[in-house]
Amino acid sequence: MAKNDLLGGALWEQYSKKVADRMNEPRNLGTITEEDAKAKGGKLIVADYGAESCGDAVRLYWVVDDSGRIIDSKFRSFGCGTAIASSDMMCELCLGKTVDEAVKITNIDVEMSLRDDPETPAVPGQKMHCSVMAYDVIKKAASIYKGVDMDSFESEIIVCECARVSLSTIQEVIRINDLKTVEEITDYTKAGAFCKSCIKPGGHEDREYYLVDILRDTRALMEEEKLKANANSSESGELAFADMTMVQKIKAIDKVIDANIRPMLMMDGGNMEIIDVKDSEKNIDIYIRYTGACAGCASSSTGTLYAIETVLRQKLDTSIRVMPI
């Protein structure tokens, strides 16, 4: 069957060639019996999982050897072509892995493996739930093998099933980057970029948490903490950082750096200096220069920068951004 026939007209343009190929000719479609598993010297695991939002379902077969390694993997899919392609790729990713390794495979891994190029999604956003179903059936199979509840593999509250973005991640990103719109959350985390059900009520699938509510509640908590911090400063006779003169701000920054940051840098033979502080409408930008071993260090623009910015935000003002030059 041609890709155009299977997907219908111009709609096929939204699917990768790999998806169409696996829709038409899945490599791992089939069943495995107890006799087959015994012949291969392994234990048969059969797991069923269905997606309530669309009615699709998948049955996963594993043959697991005595070391816990998956030596064969097949599937049967009851649903759309995208579910077939996602399940087929899911089986392929499981092969040769231990059960503990397989349970770490995410729907993003499945979708990325189906892309023709890294920058172009393999399926339209509204079909991303098919790869989520593949992810969930792996957890179901692993739970059967280990004799545990499948929820035990999920330690975080997942808000966006499509991109596997947790509640704590979204809250942290809003705080750290002072995000003010749902679009900014999507840019930073990919939450809401696919089926969009997690953005607000009314999507194709009901969710417990929505981005609009998380943003509202997190912003409200940030404002409450800021007001409390300013009130504490006023009671103690201290001036709020945002209300300080430029000289006072630089002195306050230096004090925090000397107490919390500089000793850490000097332990590795590095250091830093404040070059400038600039106020904008939304942020207080602190320009720094790394010296010693920190100059040119790979983590100076990632982990170290994050640590410096986090400390300054906690100690002085949540609107601070640190800009290395």
Q: Which residues of 138-167 are buried (b: 16+ CB within 10 A; e: fewer)?
A: bbbbbbbbeeeebeebeeeebbbbbbbbbb
To 5 degrees, how large is the angle CA 135–CA 141–CA 145?
145
* CB 32 within 8 Å of CB 63: yes
Q: Residues 168, 152: contact at Cβ < 8 Å? A: no
Catalytic residue selected from 80, 91, 94, 130: 130
Q: What is the CA radius of gyration of the chain?
A: 25
List the structure tokens of 162: 């499509």
Q: Taking each helix axis from N to C terminus, what angle separates 129-146 and 81-94, rounded to the nearest 10 degrees?
A: 40
Give the CA-trace dihedral at 278, 280, 286, 289, to 10 degrees: -70
Cα 123 to chain centroid, rounded: 18
Angstrom distance (rounded) from CA 201 to CA 213:
10
Tokens 């920054």 appear where? 253
d(CA 324, CA 314): 19
Distance CA 137, CA 45 (A): 11
Q: Check if 130 is active-site.
A: yes
Is 294 a residue of the active site? Answer: no
Residue type, 175: R
Using H for helix, E for strand and C for coil, what is the string for 21-65?
HHHHCCCCECCCCHHHHHHCCCEEEEEEEECCCCCCEEEEEEEEC
Q: Which residues are annotated as catalytic?
A: 54, 130
